[in-house]
Structure 1
């Protein structure tokens, strides 16, 4: 058993255990705090799950660094060595308001290169996973290489922040596609592009923990994952993101250029 196989087995157990803890909390009253604004929330459950993951990583893999959304891990300025990137609940607003459409995300990078990525759609019981060079899966089903369709033949997801800040951009891309969908979880939206349900996903600002797992999964099925302007994503910065099939990605970049974005 190589070291990544061992990690894969542990991570899957940890994710399912965390999901069970989250579901058990549904009847409890949450402690909810605002972060940057009224739509950017954190709950006691986000913090508890992140703490759970960190304790397990530190026990099994002491000395490896951890970047977590809730700040309970390490201060990281370089991706040297092995770095775990964790989002305990992606789509916290959905978790609070709907108890649906939220995900658990874990990724491992080594010297800046993605190695393992996991997005667990908790309420749909769908675990999207990938190991670089070994393909991507939904549960135990291998995801095929994405069909390279043009933008007009697929649905796109556009984040609510991008739609509100750049209404003209959203309309331009939306009109060029078959239609626009919005879920409110970067992980689930990226997973839907990777599984072929969507042709692309655009977001105004994603943090490293929103990006890390999905980027590994997306690239394993042949998707292009970049900044909105086509530049390479910096995993230590918040950044606008575009993930799409190669043809749709090229078309969307051209549309964005026409909008001077």
Structure 2
């Protein structure tokens, strides 16, 4: 992918993201058809489905040789990341979308041969677009985001953490999470993985930890966080597999290893 091709890809993706967001805002207060997927808290609406279908159709029309990996079933059966793959979450934070009418995002990551090249996270209701191209920096609207601080004490960190992982569960030793909560300055939970990645890239949150995310939850965020010098791995520090669901630790690089080695252990 040369620079001209990359810029054209970026321009089209940006236009589609903003168009999809505008459509969501215009339909926001109309009655929704709400269904559940894996459990009663795993919601999906026709807006999720319509938005992913919109992206899939645009991508296939303009780039028939590209693959689409999406949450709602309109993508391809992606077995590898060879070539160009669009990884799309049409509404990240569907529960917030349903209950709050805010705090949700469109997330689009574009990968070439397994490497994140372009990322968009669009806070729809705030009309705030986080975007990045590999090796060209990350932006919030037109503002270039500075590199993350080289050193931050864990005692001064704000981390994103869902309370699910702080209570007894089958996946993670909650005692380590309890120690981490006592160590850091504060915790937050926004209900949208994409926005939590964006907030790390912006430097207003220092880490985000969760034990089960899909590729579409993290693809765009990985590009953004890497562009400001942050680090994203599995929660135990191992490399991410972009085709699987897995634990995730995204952080300012200065506290990443300390968290993964000292506070996260699995049962």
TM-score (structure 1 length as normaliser): 0.96
Within the candidate set 153, 156, 162, 1:153 is matched to 156
* 1:160–1:77 Cα change, 3 Å: farther
Q: Helix, strand or coil for the counterpart of 1:193? A: helix
Q: Take 1:160 and 1:84, find their aligned partners in 2: how far apart are those partners? A: 31
Aligned to 1:59: 61
2:165 is the alignment partner of 1:162? yes
Number of residue pairs the alignment of both structures matches: 260
1:50-106, Cα deviation, whole Å (9 max, x unpaired): 000111111111121100110111001111111110000000010001011000011
1:148-167, Cα deviation, whole Å (9 max, x unpaired): 31221121001244234354
Q: Helix, strand or coil for the counterpart of 1:116? A: strand
Q: Take 2:63 and 2:109, find their aligned partners in 1: how far apart are those partners? A: 14
Q: Helix, strand or coil for the counterpart of 1:128? A: strand
Deviates more, 1:159-168 or 1:223-232: 159-168
Q: In the TM superposition, what are the counterparts of 1:99-248 in structure 2 within 5 Å?
A: 99-148=101-150, 149-164=152-167, 165=169, 166=172, 167-248=174-255
Q: Take 2:211 and 2:20, find their aligned partners in 1: how far apart are those partners? A: 29
TM-score (structure 2 length as normaliser): 0.94
Q: Helix, strand or coil for the counterpart of 2:263? A: helix
Q: Helix, strand or coil for the counterpart of 1:162? A: helix
Query: Which segments of 5 or more consecutive residues in structure 2 lack a partner in the other structure?
Result: none
**1:160/1:184 contact within 8 Å kept:** no
Q: Take 1:222 and 1:232, find their aligned partners in 2: how far apart are those partners? A: 16
Q: In the TM superposition, what are the counterparts of 1:32-71 in structure 2 within 5 Å?
A: 32-71=34-73
* RMSD after superposition: 1.4
* 1:161–1:260 Cα change, 3 Å: closer
Give the Å deviation of 1:260: 5.2
Give the Å deviation of 1:168: 2.8
Q: Take 2:177 and 2:27, find their aligned partners in 1: how far apart are those partners? A: 36
Q: Take 1:59 and 1:160, find their aligned partners in 2: how far apart are those partners? A: 42
Query: Which segments of 5 or more consecutive residues in structure 1 lack a partner in the other structure?
Result: none
